[in-house]
């Protein structure tokens, strides 16, 4: 087996792994009706002129299944955190008691659940597109290696089959993740 082709396959799989990792990060920010601290990952607070991730400047805990409690390490920044949460458009208004903020997650309506499920499918489709782009890059690299290293035609066919099997494996992983997340969203 050609070293350049082996490196090509390894690099392709690493890129596909990254596409799936990105999909899982996006899924973590999807609101499912249960309180999940990961929904705050995108929230940036203006801390003395510097955008700082909310979770770096406060403790976030799940009080019951539907409430997040945000306790800032520096109490003077409470108002800024409140503004940042409102600006992030999470669909939840923070309640402040002067010491901490509470985010109460209302139960999702059936229509909202269907909307979120559509978004989850869209995220899955985008991940599949990323995987297919990697497959295309791998195939192009294989064609270049075929010309440069004079790889026999039957070996090229075997490599193409291997690239397709890798792609199918990652596509199935994406499909499984999407259906799992959809089930989570649709569960009341």
* Per-residue tens of pLDDT for the chain, all 188 residues: 567 788 889 999 999 999 999 999 888 877 776 777 888 888 888 888 888 888 889 998 888 878 889 999 988 888 888 888 888 877 788 888 888 989 888 777 888 888 889 999 999 999 999 999 999 999 999 888 888 888 888 888 999 999 999 999 999 999 999 999 999 888 86
Record: fold of 37-104:
Gyrase A; domain 2 (3.30.1360)
Q: Per CATH, which fold does 3-29+109-186 belong to?
A: Topoisomerase I; Chain A, domain 4 (1.10.132)
Q: What is the DSSP string of the chain?
A: --HHHHHHHHHHHHHHHHHHHHHHHHHHTS--SS--GGGGTT-EEEETTEEEEGGGSEEEEE-STTEEEEEESSGGGHHHHHHHHHHTT-S--EEE-SS-EEEE-PPPPHHHHHHHHHHHHHHHHHHHHHHHHHHHHHHHHHHHHHHHHT--HHHHHHHHHHHHHHHHHHHHHHHHHHHHHHHHHH--
Task: Judge residue 65's burial from the number of C-beta atoms within 10 Å of its C-beta, 0-12 exposed, 13-18 middle, 19 or more buried.
Answer: exposed
Count the Cβ atoms, other than its own, within 10 Å of residue 128. 18
- Can you give the pTM of this predicted structure? 0.73
Q: In the chain, what are the domain boundaries?
A: 3-29+109-186, 37-104
Q: Are 109 and 123 in contact (CB under 8 A)?
A: no
Q: Write down how long the chain is.
A: 188
Q: Are 105 and 35 in contact (CB under 8 A)?
A: yes
For residue 85, how many other CB atoms are within 10 A of its CB? 21
Amino acid 92: pLDDT = 81
């Amino acid at each position: 087996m050609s070293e350049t082709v082996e490196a090509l396959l390894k690099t392709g799989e690493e890129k596909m792994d990254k596409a799936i990792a990105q999909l899982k990060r996006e899924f973590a920010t999807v609101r499912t009706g249960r309180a999940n601290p990961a929904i705050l990952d995108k929230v940036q607070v203006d801390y003395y002129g510097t955008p700082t991730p909310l979770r770096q400047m406060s403790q976030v805990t799940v009080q019951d299944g539907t409430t997040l409690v945000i306790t800032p390490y520096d109490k003077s920044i409470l108002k800024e955190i409140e503004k940042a949460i409102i600006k992030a458009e999470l669909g939840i208004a923070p309640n402040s008691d002067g010491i901490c903020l509470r985010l109460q997650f209302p139960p999702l309506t059936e229509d909202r659940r269907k909307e979120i499920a559509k978004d989850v499918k869209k995220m899955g489709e985008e991940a599949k597109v990323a995987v297919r782009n990697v497959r295309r890059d791998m195939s192009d690299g294989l064609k270049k290696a075929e010309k440069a290293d004079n790889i026999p035609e039957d070996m090229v066919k075997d490599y193409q089959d291997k690239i397709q099997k890798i792609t199918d494996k990652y596509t199935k992983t994406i499909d499984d993740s999407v259906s799992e997340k959809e089930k989570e969203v649709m569960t009341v």
